[in-house]
Amino acid sequence: MAHWQVLIGPIELMKEGGYLLWDVPSQYGFLSMLSVYILPFDSSWQSFYFLNSLMVFTMSMLIFLVIWNNKNLHWYIISLFLSLSIIFYLNAGTEVDNVNLVPSDGAFRYFWIVLILFMMFKMGSRDPFSQFLIILPVWIVGFLWSPESAFYVTAAISPMLFNYIINKDINIRKKLFVFLLFPISILFFIIFISIFYLINIGQFPDYYSFVEYIFSWTSGNPQNSKEKFNYQGPIIFLIFFLSIFFTMYFQNIKNKNSYLIFSVIFSLGAISSYLVGQSEDININSQIVFYIFGYFLIINYFKINKKYYHIISPVILTILIASYGNLSTIKHFTSTILNQDYFLKKSIYEEPEGFNEILTISDVNKEPVIFTEVGRYLIYATQDKYSNLENEEVKKINTDVWIPYKPASLYEPLTPARRKIYLSRWIQRKNTSEGWYIGPVSEHWHDSVEKSLFEVLEEENYIIKKEKKTNIYKALLFKKL
């Protein structure tokens, strides 16, 4: 729930009339959220589930096809098991849980870099100019998808672009055209987005919001980004592969398309910045797939697989043993087959402890309610009704989002000043006369975001009209003067 809510939250806020790049913060990008938002499903959860599943399936097929490379049946079977391992099992921990418990570690974050590398290697023999024209639309989508994706796809095409510019046989006008093609394309979309915002809200977009989470995470604001980097840990695995890639490059340096190897190296360096930024050893499991993918891209294209067979075989064997030697993998496989629920009809919304009690004693009526559950993840309660404990009457909850804490964890990585900007814009637009905020009585996880909220409400002339408490929750009814 926690890892999904930061992805679903911005979409639900948009459905409440909010705008990305203005009053809706988004940790995972711009076009990524819009792509889910426009899908014709009633539920934001269903929309995200569908798009994420489609991207996972497509990325998995691309990786499998690269590893198999249309070889014999024997290698087909190995490729299938290896692909399943590095995409679904290895990244799911020793218990082999559903890898999509944390969808941000998979295709939703990395799809476009995988696709653009796949295309570059497939088109390696084509005219370079036509390659740029074909790759451009994919690069634009990847760039606008999220700031991280923009970094990844730009890293991928940089060696290709540099190789084109230094080529003495290419006309200077073509070089200049290709060099300016990418930034001018983005500038065009920025102008289009700016005009759209001016027409609809009378303001230019807050473009800093596109990149601000990057600065928040790298500055160590979020609580789980403060781990010290382990120079003696899994980073050795990444160095091992990068050493192989550099060796491959120097062996093929005279090949006119040797820049493709650097595209892989640059891409993996960009992707691995996530591992460095999070500084948690376990994150290596989500990175291995891209190193294996890059390795097979290179050996297939440059036809050098026999030279490195003895080097890479122990790594592949270790991955397969780690995945299929774990009995939890069998449980995972059977659970996957027996628990298909593509339309989320079997979803269970667990009721937080103390939920009915605090709503009962508060005597919540028609006022909108924002309910933040206890715990470090700052998730919001999804229920739209509660049971009155005094008379057992089931009462509807007004779920109008008068405070955009859906969830509050969206705001936790931001500086207090930036939180207040988003909150002020939202609360001014909503202009709600009365509304409830319900949150934990006392938890340090919530102190910072609650402080920002209460300061903004005071600045917007809200006072506390009513206050109720239990051992777990406090309920505050705010009224605008």
Phi then psi dihedrals of residue 177, to 5 deg: -65, -50
Read off the pTM: 0.91
Across 74-88, 168-182, 234-248, 326-340, least confident range: 326-340
Q: How far apart are CA 37 and CA 182, in angstroms?
A: 26
Give the pLDDT of residue 322. Answer: 82
Indicate whether 162 pLDDT > 60: yes
Residue 279's pLDDT band (boundaries 50, 70, 90)? low
Give the CA radius of gyration of the chain. Answer: 25
pLDDT in tens, 15-59: 999 999 999 999 999 999 999 999 998 889 899 999 999 999 999
> Closest Cα partner for 120 from 240, 4, 6, 259?
259
> Going by DSSP bridges, is the β-strand pair 462-469/473-480 parallel, antiparallel, or unpaired?
antiparallel
Indicate whether 456 pLDDT > 90: yes
Q: How far apart are CA 291 and CA 240, in angstroms?
A: 10
Mean pLDDT score, 233-242:
79
pLDDT in tens, 177-211: 999 999 999 999 999 999 999 999 999 999 999 99
pLDDT in tens, 325-353: 877 777 777 777 777 766 666 666 678 88
pLDDT in tens, 139-155: 999 999 999 999 999 99
H/E stretch holding 468 reads: strand 462-469
Give the amino acid at 334.
Answer: T
Q: Quote the DSSP letter at residue 229.
A: P
- Percent share of the chain, pLDDT over 70: 90
Q: Where would I find the H helices in 69-106?
A: 73-84
Count other C-beta atoms under 10 Å from residue 153's C-beta.
Answer: 26
The β-bridge partners of 368 are 398
Give CA angle at 324 (320, 330), nearest 5°.
Answer: 155
